[in-house]
Amino acid sequence: MLFMKGTPQEPRCGFSKQMVEILNKHNIQFSSFDIFSDEEVRQGLKTYSNWPTYPQLYVSGELIGGLDIVKELEASEELDTICPKAPKLEERLKVLTNKASVMLFMKGNKQEAKCGFSKQILEILNSTGVDYETFDILEDEEVRQGLKTFSNWPTYPQLYVKGELVGGLDIVKELRENGELLPTLKGGN
């Protein structure tokens, strides 16, 4: 957790800006709190941490320090061992494709498809009675682009069963016509 002046997108002091740049450069996952948004927190944290200046970086509830300390940790290559890394995209995609036994990456969600292909594949999946989860690729550009490479499949929707790509709408239609869709969805292929 980074207590800072401003936000990571719009730091309001040079020290906070430098801290954000260092954390981002090292792919460190962090949340932030704008101390300008709450004067009580701003003053209280100085007493709590016995640290008079901002920004202040905490890991697992423990104060690491301010910008100078973080720069020293970076120089000694200790920063990477102290701070949690943001998951790499490929790891994130593996987790997402395995989020449910049957996982559909589409434009929109179960309640509202945002393209004709996604609407058609929803209708087909709903007709099977099989439980499935959806992920709206329009909500996350990194996943939208990354999954195309990860799966080596350039279009959406994309259907996964137990983390393995089945295919898009044409493949799903073909499986349905051949009577293979239900066994495939149940993980029998």
pLDDT in tens, 132-183: 999 999 999 889 999 998 999 999 999 999 999 999 999 999 999 999 999 9
Question: What pLDDT, on the 0 to 100 scale, is given for residue 143?
Answer: 92
* pTM for this entry: 0.59
Question: What pLDDT, on the 0 to 100 scale, is given for residue 84?
Answer: 74
Q: Could you tell me which of 126, 94, 130, 128 has the C-alpha nearest to residue 110? A: 126
Question: What pLDDT, on the 0 to 100 scale, is given for residue 127?
Answer: 96
Q: Domains of the chain by range and CATH?
A: 2-82 (3.40.30.10), 89-186 (3.40.30.10)
